[in-house]
Amino acid sequence: MPNTILVSRDGAVGVVQLNRPQVLNALNEEVLTELGDAMRALDEDDSCRCIVLTGNDKAFAAGADIKETFVGATPVSMLAQDLTSKWEVIRKTKKPIIAAVSGFALGGGCELAMICDIIVASETAKFGQPEINLGLLPGYAGSQRLPRLVGRGRALELLLTGAQITAEEAWRIGLVNRVVPAAQLAAEARTLARTLASKPAVAVRYILDAVASGLDMSFADAQDYEATLFGLVATTEDMREGTTAFIEKRKPTFQGR
């Protein structure tokens, strides 16, 4: 039974909540293990079509647990934790993940939000990569994802200064998709999740794949890859249902096949 996270369901939406409020949801090996297990279980559950990842009002996740992760650490002990593979489970989830962020999303917390496909933030959210202030650099691809989301110059300013930015600033530079009042965050994230959950599952999966894989390819290769995925999706029952419903001017009923 998970201790550091809480998992619940809202119909076709899985909700995963970080649950270490006493340390502002700081990330440690136990959290990442349980989080990976929960994501894997929801990913393998065909009745779950979308996942919301959230924290609490004060923090989505305030970063790595400094005492547990770094104090007394050696290269050997850090490698033994194999934290990268735990993050890979989240990154490779085939269903859309919406980060619902309130309060602090710093360091590893910001990186965790960036792994997600869409970020909905409350007005109280604070984002940043403050590792520089500890004599470190991001360890969970923050230096790679941030420039891809906000551009090289803005990313370098945040990485090199360790500055925290507001939700509005994060929205302005393209780090988050939406900013809503804190009281509306959960409802906004779940409404968006239900919308995504209603879409044809196979097409959703391959759109996620096309975008994620294509960003690491040349445009020509990415275009060819998209065409391959298009050909696969064009053979699905959901495609036939969607096109038939369009012609018949009715709402489609997708089965995820």
The full DSSP string for 138-178 is: -SSSHHHHHHHHH-HHHHHHHHHH--EEEHHHHHHTTS-SE
51 and 157 within one domain: yes
- Chain segment 87-139, per-residue pLDDT in tens: 888 888 999 999 999 999 999 999 999 999 999 999 999 999 999 999 999 98
Domain count, the chain: 2
122 and 66 within one domain: yes
Confidence check: pLDDT of 76 > 60: no
Confidence check: pLDDT of 1 > 50: no
Confidence check: pLDDT of 73 > 80: no
- Chain segment 152-179, per-residue pLDDT in tens: 999 999 999 999 999 999 999 999 999 9
Catalytic residues: 64, 108, 111, 131
Confidence check: pLDDT of 70 > 60: no
Residue closest to 145 by CA, chosen among 118, 175, 179, 102: 175
Q: Give me 251's structure tokens.
A: 């709402």
> In the block, which residue shows the tokens 């929205």?
171
% of the chain beyond a pLDDT of 90:
75
Q: Give me 109's structure tokens.
A: 């917390």
Q: Is residue 63 part of a domain?
A: yes
The pLDDT of residue 255? 82
Q: Please count the residues of the chain.
A: 257
CATH number at residue 220: 1.10.12
- Rounded CA-CA distance 128/227 in Å is 37
Q: Is residue 256 part of a domain?
A: no
176 and 222 within one domain: no
Q: Is residue 191 part of a domain?
A: yes
45 and 17 within one domain: yes
Confidence check: pLDDT of 49 > 80: yes
Backbone angles phi, psi at 133, to 5 degrees: -70, -10
Which run of H or of E encompasses 50? strand 50-54
The sign of the torsion formed by the CA atoms of 239, 244, 249, 252 equals negative
The mean per-residue pLDDT over the stretch 3-30 comes to: 94
Question: 0.85 exceeded by the pTM?
Answer: yes
94 and 69 within one domain: yes
111 and 231 within one domain: no
- Rounded CA-CA distance 181/243 in Å is 38
Q: Is residue 188 part of a domain?
A: yes
CATH number at residue 60: 3.90.226.10
Q: Is residue 257 part of a domain?
A: no
Q: Is residue 118 part of a domain?
A: yes
235 and 108 within one domain: no
Instruction: Name the residue with higher pLDDT: 24 or 250.
Output: 24
Q: Is residue 255 part of a domain?
A: no
User: Which range of residues forms the domain containing residue 225?
Assistant: 201-248
Residue 257 CB partners (closer than 8 Å, separation 6+) = 202, 236, 237, 238
Give the N- to C-terminal CA distance of the chain in Å, as an integer: 32
Residue closest to 113 by CA, chosen among 48, 175, 30, 46: 175
Q: Is residue 112 part of a domain?
A: yes
228 and 122 within one domain: no
